[in-house]
Amino acid sequence: MSTHPFTKYSNTSSTYWPPGWDFARYARATPADNAALSDDERAKMQAGFREALGEDGVAEMARVVWCEQLRLMKEKKAKETEMEGGKDGGERRPPPPPPNWMRVWRKRYWGQGGRWGFVVFWTAGAVRRMMDDVAVGDVGGFEEIVREIVEIPFEAALEQGQSAEEVDEARKSFGIRWVGVSDEGEGSKGEEGMVERLRARYRSMQEQESGFFLPVFLVVSLSAVESVLSTPESGEGKVGTTSPRWRSGVPFLLAVAAEEEQGVVNDADDDDQETNGEKVWFKPVFRVAVEVLIDELWPVVEEQMTTLGRMTRFVQRAEVTEDVQALIDEKDGLDAIWWSVHTPPRHMRKRRGIFT
């Protein structure tokens, strides 16, 4: 019988607790609790976490606690909604608000017969790696695994009570256009040359169905292949609708900006901090968790809600020629994998002063 990761932690998770505090209070601390805790006591508690769990253990505990807090918030909201529904004399409650991807899909594609989705390029090295894999067998088997994970948001929408008819239409009109790319000249041109060849190929395809052409396209690299093949297809490790976000060791693809210059372009002598910040934040290539391609990445780039500079502020730059997944570098404070346009939980915790 499986246990929730949250139950692994207790008062032994720190060698020091401020007076009146324990793990239960820490995990459910209110803004008032945090404000009442002195800097000295907070520092002692943080040191206690590191002594008991180590740096990596503290980061994992923080992720689990954040997910538990989100779960409790959702439960509270669901109960409040249920209670409100009971006051209307048994009338049928309206469906919950649609997820963001469905709202955008309704506006742009619902009932219009158009198709939507992503263009995904295979690098030649990734194809060769797949041909050597006995378990999956071939490129087609890999693509089926990826598609199953990509379509998780459709299942989540049904579980949330969205219209089955709408979800079915969205699923049928969604597609992934897989495109192979040769490695001719790849060795001499390196990363920059490979990215430019992919962009040129992408531009040459844009006279086709417009619903597939976004400010970014996707790439299956050697590192992406390894991330997918190392993901369990059954058991607790299988990716599903309840899998927590911002966890480590997840399947990903690379996202590549269709153009090198994105968002704000300013003069060299422009000293506007916000503008220069976006130029520094911008990552032309970055890793995206496969399970959030539809519900997090797609609506943002489809509607162009923000610049890619702002969108990639908290994620590391990747390379289409990389053969292994880079680990999070605590020194630069950036995440290895992109999960959302919103600020990652660990950065939010730092703002609140819970962790160093």
pTM higher than the cut 0.75: no
- pLDDT, mean of residues 208-213: 83
The more confident residue out of 338 and 28 is 338
Confidence grade of residue 42 (pLDDT, cut at 50, 70, 90): confident
Average pLDDT, the chain: 82
Query: In the beta sheet, which residues pair with residue 216?
Result: 257
Q: For 68-86, write each residue's pLDDT tens digit.
A: 777 777 777 767 766 665 5
pLDDT score recorded for residue 349:
57
In this structure, of 232-241, 271-280, 294-303, the range with the lowest mean pLDDT score is 271-280
Confidence grade of residue 267 (pLDDT, cut at 50, 70, 90): very low
pLDDT score recorded for residue 71:
74
How many beta carbons lie within 10 A of that of residue 61, not counting itself?
23
pLDDT score recorded for residue 143:
93
17 touches 48 (CB < 8 A) = yes
In this structure, of 121-125, 151-155, 159-163, 351-355, the range with the lowest mean pLDDT score is 351-355
Tokens 């395809």 belong to: 205
Q: Give domain limits for the chain.
A: 5-86, 100-345
**Residue 265 buriedness (CB in 10 A; 0-12 / 13-18 / 19+):** exposed
Radius of gyration of the chain (CA): 23
What's the CA gap between 118 and 254, in Å, rounded?
A: 12
How far does Cα 108 stand from its chain's mean position? 23
Query: For the chain, how many residues are written?
Result: 356
Q: For 289-346, write each residue's pLDDT tens digit.
A: 999 999 999 999 999 888 999 999 999 999 999 877 655 444 567 889 999 988 887 7
The more confident residue out of 1 and 186 is 186
- pLDDT, mean of residues 125-152: 84
pLDDT score recorded for residue 214:
94
Q: For 156-207, write each residue's pLDDT tens digit.
A: 999 999 999 999 999 999 999 999 987 655 444 688 999 999 999 999 987 6
pLDDT at 134 over 70: no
Using CA atoms, how far residue 338 sits from 91, 184, 254, 288, 312, in Å, is 41, 30, 10, 5, 8
- pLDDT, mean of residues 259-267: 59
Question: Would the CA dihedral through 201, 206, 207, 211 be positive or negative?
Answer: positive
Enter the DSSP assignment of 353: T
**What's the token pair of residue 323?**
């053969």
The more confident residue out of 269 and 14 is 14
Read off the amino acid at residue 35. A
